[in-house]
Structure 1
Amino acid sequence: MDSREVEQFERDGYVAVRGAVAPDVAAACRDAIWAVLAEQGVTRDPATWTRPVVRVLCPDGGPFEAAGTSPALWSAYDTLIGPGRWAPRRGVGGTVPVRFPSEEFPGDAGWHIEGSYEVDGQYWANVRSRARGLLALFLFSDVGEQDAPTRLAIGSHLAIPSILAPAGEAGMDGGAPMARVRPSVLCRTVVHATGRAGDVFLCHPFIVHTATWPHRGTTPRMMAQPAVYVADGFAIDGSDPSPVARAIVAGLHTQP
């Protein structure tokens, strides 16, 4: 990852690592996801695609270990978070919301940030981004503009720190910041997480994003969305040199 990509990450809140996962590995991951879907009666036969989205836990082992340990990704984690600060895992993790061609509202589209740690059954976030270093979007299928791609509000991560800061270490429900952001945040230029199978978008933990609909493509969209785990989060006193922390500090001086 070069300096221009780091600058983009801090400014825009994301960077795409193209070809991070080899095409044959991504194909093997798709096959494994189909096997899990079959347990719910969903097969490659379009007649079984009766729901707009089916969520499954990302399988472990096999091709997912190869995907999750991609040298390009681990190098990017070192650059954005810092060597030795993030928790390696022998897999990808998270869930895979498989989105099928459909005009039906999926029920999960709406602007939000990701929560990071559980409080009374809800996922919360605090200004130091406890437990989350990055949001990673692993494209296991080709994703075009018609395939219900995830939508990212460029630069929106800078609006969140000053909202979270008054809540201190305890933080707040991951959905709460959206009630406090200025409407202009949601009028920002957006980018869609599109690309080839094997591309991975690495997003700042505070980026505002949403699922999209309808899915007017022809094939299911398969994408995992795990957290890259950082136990204690980031220092926000200016002493933390990581790009994730620098963006949080910059956001503390930005109006929500």
Structure 2
Amino acid sequence: MLPDADMERFLVDGYVVLPGAVPADVILECQDVVWRELSSRGVERGDRSTWTQPVVRLSTPDVSPFVAAGTSPALWEAYDQLLGDGRWSKRRGVGGTIPVRFPSEADPGDAGWHIDGSFDGPDGSYWVNARSKLRGLLVLFLLTDVDEGSAPTRILEGSHLDVPRVLAPAGDEGMSFGDVAPRLPASTFERRRVFAVGRAGDVYVCHPFLVHAASWPHRGTQPRMIAQPGVGILEPFALRAGVEVCPVEAAILRGLRDQK
């Protein structure tokens, strides 16, 4: 169970860290699966000459070690606390994608500030709205050790409180996820920047509106693997008085209230 201090940190900062949420033996099996997927693309674990791209993006495999990782009791308890029991989609697995980042000075081309989209938009891109249709959380599974030199995800603490004001005028239709960051105030990008670093098996559980970005260059010696799925919700957040709200929804309401 998340202690009260972590619940408050989630509201204020937009994320909490669950150290060792995925057991070490499961993580090692996940790494082996990822390397098999990479090998099928000609990228070999023992041959650094095949590490020619700064990033290779994989769909997260739907196999047993990832099922074990995605159904970690510590994670499901946290999801219940942050979203409400019975309000989120209990997927058996991790889902999402795994951008594998290799030691490289090259620009990966995907390192801009953004929030993740949550539903298919009319222009073929992913869209998002203030009620966070279909997405309740962003989750970062550290499948390898990650330090500041190995291209960790960058996070703008508290930025989830700035996003609702941008999304609200678009109503339920929402907007393309790529249109959100350019509309944010300059103060968003002056917020404290932190790196999603830690040991393999640590998990960052984030508000869906948390502004984040990849970092580069990767100056480490080994590839960095992070799975980054969303946690689905069964109904969009109501965002109205008289309805029981979960912490994720409470943060959206706080952002709307504080920025009027």
- 8 Å contact from structure 1 (residues 149, 193) kept in 2: yes
- Aligned partner of 2:255 in structure 1 is 251
> Identity rate of aligned residues, in percent?
57
Q: CA deviation at 1:4?
A: 0.6
Do residues 2 (structure 1) and 3 (structure 2) align? yes
Extract unaligned runs of 5+ from structure 2: none
Alignment-mate amino acid for residue 73 of structure 1: L
Equivalent position amino acid for 2:199 in 1: R
Corresponding residue for residue 174 of structure 1: 177
Deviation (angstroms), 1:255: 3.4
Letter in 1 for 2:149: Q
Describe the SS at the equivalent of 2:6: helix
User: For the residues of structure 2 that align with 1:162 and 1:106, how far apart are their CA atoms?
Assistant: 30
1:231 deviates by 3.0
User: Quick one: which amino acid aligns to residue 40 of structure 1?
Assistant: R
Shift of 1:253: 2.1
Structure 1's consecutive aligned runs of 4 or more residues displaced over 4 angstroms after TM superposition are none
1:119-156 deviation line (CA, Å, top 9, x unaligned): 13110000010000000000000001101000010000
CA contact (8 A) 1:156 1:185 kept: yes
Contact conserved, 2:26 with 2:69, CA < 8 A, in 1? yes
- 1:54 counterpart residue number: 56
Matches within 5 A, 1:109-120: 109-119=111-121, 120=123
Question: In structure 1, what is the Cα distance between the partners aligned to 2:194 and 2:244?
Answer: 28
Q: Where do residues 2-151 of structure 1 align in structure 2 (5 Å cutoff)?
A: 2-44=3-45, 45-119=47-121, 120-151=123-154
Q: Determine the C-alpha separation between the residues in 1 that align with 2:190 and 2:33.
A: 38
1:254 to partner: Cα distance: 3.4
Extract unaligned runs of 5+ from structure 1. Answer: none
How many residues are aligned here?
256
Distance 1:110 1:76 in 2: 28
Q: Is the 1:240–1:246 contact (alpha carbons within 8 Å) kept by the matching residues of 2?
A: no
> For 2:38, what is the secondary structure of its paired residue?
helix
Partners of 2:198 and 2:236 lie apart in 1 by: 30
Output one character per residue of 1:48-74: Cα deviation in whole Å (capped at 9) or x when no partner: 100000001100121001000000000
Instruction: Give TM-score scaled by structure 1 length.
Output: 0.98
Mapped partners of 1:36, 1:242: distance in 2? 38
Deviations 1:188-238 (A, max 9, x none): 101111001111100000000000000001100001000000032212114
How many angstroms apart in 1 are the aligned matches of 2:25 and 2:236?
Answer: 34
Task: Provide TM-score, normalisation by structure 2.
Answer: 0.97
Superimposed CA distance per residue, residues 23-69 of structure 1 (whole angstroms, 9 cap, x where no aligned partner): 11011000000000111100112111000000011001210010000
Aligned partner (choices 183, 195, 213) of residue 210 of structure 1: 213
RMSD: 1.0
Contact 2:160/2:207, CA 8 A, preserved across alignment? yes
Q: Secondary structure at the match of 1:20?
A: coil
Structure 2 SS opposite 1:98: strand
Kindly report which structure 2 residues correspond to 1:227-246, keeping only aligned pairs within 5 A, or say none.
227-238=230-241, 239-246=243-250
SS of residue paired to 1:136: strand
> Among 186, 190, 197, which residue is 1:183 paired with?
186
Query: Counterparts of 1:217 and 1:139 in 2: how far apart (Å)?
Result: 15
